[in-house]
């Protein structure tokens, strides 16, 4: 759906398409998880060793996102995406003094506070969403509401005349 993509950076969906921490790097050399994602190429992520080699050769001046593991789930640093994605209502976690946010739902239903989309438990009631994925679903629903309201307003508005006439 094009109208959704307009609100999001182009790399976001390709990033969320990855299952991080499920298998090692496809290079089959390094036995590492792939935790480096190029925001411009949007290809499959690289392991750290491949990234060190490729980043200079094939990704000159490209920006990479680094993935971190939180409770077996992939997360990104809040500071790395907050200029492009509105993450204010997503529950952050702290690892190594950095705030990170989960890409996909953490799971674990029951209890409060909870994510307004997947109902997974979150830590702080200030936040609405457990993860970036749930935030995107929330945005889409919000957008549907705004569009409906827009249609209604347009119908009601009376045509206005130019003041010069």
Q: Say whether 50 sits in a helix, a strand or coil.
A: helix
By CB under 5 A, tell whether 130 contacts Zn ion.
yes
- In the list 74, 90, 134, 136, the residue contacting Zn ion (rule: CB under 5 A) is 134
- Exposed/middle/buried for 73, CB within 10 Å: 0-12, 13-18, 19+? buried
- In the list 12, 15, 81, 118, the residue contacting Zn ion (rule: CB under 5 A) is 118
By CB under 5 A, tell whether 47 contacts Zn ion.
yes
Distance CA 57, CA 68 (A): 24
Of the pair 140, 147, the CB lying nearest Zn ion is at: 140
By CB under 5 A, tell whether 25 contacts Zn ion.
yes
Of the pair 65, 143, the CB lying nearest Zn ion is at: 65
Q: Say whether 39 sits in a helix, a strand or coil.
A: coil
Write down the residue that tokens 């790097």 correspond to: 25
Of the pair 5, 109, the CB lying nearest Zn ion is at: 109
- Exposed/middle/buried for 33, CB within 10 Å: 0-12, 13-18, 19+? middle
Q: Which residues bind Zn ion (CB under 5 A)?
A: 25, 27, 30, 38, 40-41, 47, 50, 59, 62, 105, 115, 117-118, 120, 130, 134
């Amino acid at each position: 759906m094009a109208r959704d993509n307009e609100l999001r950076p182009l790399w976001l969906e390709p990033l969320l398409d990855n299952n991080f921490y499920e298998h090692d790097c496809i290079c089959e050399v390094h036995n590492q998880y792939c935790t480096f994602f190029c925001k411009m190429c949007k290809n499959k992520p690289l392991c750290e060793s491949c990234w060190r080699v490729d980043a200079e050769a094939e990704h000159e001046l490209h920006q990479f996102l680094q993935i971190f593991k939180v409770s077996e789930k992939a997360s990104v640093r809040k500071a790395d995406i907050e200029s492009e994605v509105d993450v204010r209502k997503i529950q952050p976690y702290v690892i190594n003094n950095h705030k990170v946010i989960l890409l996909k739902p953490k799971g674990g239903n029951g209890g409060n506070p909870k994510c307004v989309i997947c109902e997974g438990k979150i830590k702080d009631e200030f936040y609405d969403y457990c993860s970036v994925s749930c935030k995107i679903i929330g945005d889409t629903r919000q957008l549907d509401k705004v569009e409906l309201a827009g249609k209604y307003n347009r119908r009601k508005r009376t045509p206005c005349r130019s003041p010069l006439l």
